[in-house]
């Protein structure tokens, strides 16, 4: 087991206080023990670990995502220094690719120009409508952030071009799918990745999670029937289409791929992905740190790291016996957690995922000839037939 990409927490603080944030508002308090920003010592040690990891595993490229908190809080000099240090430590025959996930509120044209020169791409996190954004993506004084985020998003479009106008959006099922789609088209988004809100069985059940199956099915119908050649790419819809037709092994959420992402906290701690913080306070904490440990030691000594790495094969009996398992892959690991069975559960979004996959598969098959359907070996799905094959009892 080895990592091929890191999410680097360059800042432990954020200028926003999003209501659904898994770092600050889902019960984990470990951010309070982290330095505000990543130090030069940690940067140099981490880059040496990346170099050794790439050489040992014959990796010719490695992917780094700058994250937080809010990564723009670190300032442009941090990134100039980071890339300069990387070029001194990592040989030229290993390609380091960079991206950043930001709320965009602190972005200026000068900052964006500098990041572009450093080959750091920027994705913007924005919610589904001005109302939803101003209710959920708020400053610490409760003020909404929509206008500032849109300003940052427009700077990305102008600096990087329309092809790089990419967004992350947490699904808000109180907002009409048609209006959300229009919102992102009006913004000029090239790609929108809709994310499930982070729930598991600690305080919720399959019955009271947001009805994302119906909502994303409505989004699929709108997007699929939009003949505009410039329409945005919508994930996870395109991910699921590819999985249904066997074009990819999958993602962190769906399919059968391994999950090679690790997190580096501002103090250098090596952890499994931080969204697993929803499973409990300090849940992802480890004894490993780039100052003293190789990156992949975590896989030898941490059950959680191995579980996440193989999360699409370490499935409960219900998932193993489900006909859509090759596409679903059990869903995201953190959404399966309960205090009783730990990760040995179906996703709390199980029914929602089944509804969505059934809808997408059936709609795509409706556009195929009978001959093509026979050749593909893909069949129509029935939600009721799938769900009645296993117990609906919640954990």
What tens digit of pLDDT does each residue of 28-79 get?
999 999 999 999 999 999 999 999 999 999 999 999 999 999 999 999 999 9
- 6 pLDDT higher than 80: yes
pLDDT surpasses 60 at 150: yes
- Sheet with 61-67, side-by-side order of all strands: 233-235, 191-195, 166-170, 120-125, 95-102, 61-67, 5-9, 261-264, 270-271
| pLDDT per position as a tens digit, 68-117 | 999 999 999 999 999 999 999 999 999 999 999 999 999 999 999 999 99
Q: Quote the mean pLDDT of the chain.
A: 94
Angle at 213 (CA atoms; ends 175, 382), nearest 5 degrees: 145
| pLDDT of residue 391 exceeding 80 | no
Strands (E), 95-243: 95-102, 120-125, 166-170, 191-195, 233-235
Phi, psi for residue 209 in degrees, rounded to 5 = -75, 160
Yes or no: say if 259 and 272 are a contact pair by the CB < 8 Å rule.
no
Q: Locate the DSSP E strands across the chain.
A: 5-9, 61-67, 95-102, 120-125, 166-170, 191-195, 233-235, 261-264, 270-271
Positive or negative, the CA dihedral 7, 8, 14, 15 is: negative
DSSP lists the bridge partners of residue 356 as none
Q: Dihedral of CA 195/128/173/137: which sign?
A: positive
Provide the pLDDT confidence category of residue 395 given band limits of 50, 70 and 90: very low
- Distance between CA atoms of 92 and 72, rounded to whole angstroms? 27
Q: Which two tokens stand for residue 224?
A: 């699929």
Query: What would the pLDDT profile of 257-278 be if each residue is shown by its tens digit?
Result: 999 999 999 999 999 999 999 9
pTM score, whole prediction: 0.92
Q: Read off the pLDDT of each residue in 118-146 and give the average, rounded to a whole number.
A: 95
Q: Cα dihedral sign for 70, 74, 75, 79?
A: negative
pLDDT of residue 385: 87
User: In this structure, is the dihedral angle defined by the CA atoms of residues 25, 31, 37 and 41, taken in order, positive or negative?
Assistant: negative
Pairwise CA distance, residues 279 & 283, whole Å: 6
- Burial class for 115, CB neighbours closer than 10 Å (0-12, 13-18, 19+): buried
CB 269, CB 285: distance < 8 Å = yes
Q: Six-digit token pair at 111?
A: 């900052």
* pLDDT (mean) for 174-199: 96
Pairing outcome for strands 166-170 and 120-125 = parallel
State the Cα–Cα distance between residues 182 and 63, nearest whole angstrom. 32
């Amino acid at each position: 087991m080895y990592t091929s990409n890191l999410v680097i927490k360059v800042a432990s603080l954020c200028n926003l206080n999003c209501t659904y944030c898994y770092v600050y508002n889902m019960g984990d308090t470990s951010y309070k023990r982290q330095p505000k920003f990543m130090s030069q010592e940690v940067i140099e040690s981490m880059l040496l670990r990346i170099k050794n990891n790439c050489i040992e595993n014959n990796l010719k490229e490695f992917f780094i995502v700058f994250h937080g908190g809010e990564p723009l809080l670190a300032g442009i000099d941090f990134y100039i220094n980071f890339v300069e240090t990387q070029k001194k430590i990592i040989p030229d025959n290993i390609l380091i690719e960079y991206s950043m996930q930001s709320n965009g509120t602190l972005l200026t044209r000068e900052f964006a120009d500098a990041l572009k020169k450093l080959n750091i791409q920027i994705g913007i996190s924005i919610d589904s409508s001005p109302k939803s954004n101003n209710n959920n993506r708020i400053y610490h004084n409760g003020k909404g952030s929509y206008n500032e985020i849109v300003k940052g998003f427009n700077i990305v479009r102008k600096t990087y071009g329309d092809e790089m106008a990419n967004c992350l959006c947490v699904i808000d099922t109180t907002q009409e799918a048609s209006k959300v789609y229009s919102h992102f088209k009006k913004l000029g988004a090239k790609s929108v990745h809709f994310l499930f809100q982070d729930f598991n069985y600690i305080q919720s059940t399959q019955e009271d999670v947001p009805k994302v199956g119906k909502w994303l099915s409505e989004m699929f119908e709108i997007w699929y029937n939009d003949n505009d050649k410039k329409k945005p790419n919508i994930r996870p819809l395109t991910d699921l289409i590819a999985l249904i037709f066997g074009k990819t092994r999958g993602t962190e959420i769906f399919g059968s791929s391994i999950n090679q992402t690790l997190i580096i906290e501002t103090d250098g701690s090596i952890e499994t992905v931080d969204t697993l913080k929803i499973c409990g306070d300090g849940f992802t904490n480890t004894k490993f740190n780039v100052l003293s440990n190789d990156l992949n030691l975590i896989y030898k000594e941490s059950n959680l790291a191995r579980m996440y790495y193989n999360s699409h094969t370490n499935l409960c009996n219900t998932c193993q016996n489900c006909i859509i398992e090759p596409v679903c892959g059990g869903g995201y690991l953190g959404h399966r957690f309960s205090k009783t069975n730990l990760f040995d559960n179906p996703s709390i979004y199980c029914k929602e995922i089944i509804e969505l996959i059934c809808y997408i598969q059936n709609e795509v098959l409706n556009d195929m000839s009978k001959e093509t359907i026979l050749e593909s070996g893909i069949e129509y799905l029935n939600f009721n037939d799938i769900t009645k094959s296993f117990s609906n009892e919640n954990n």
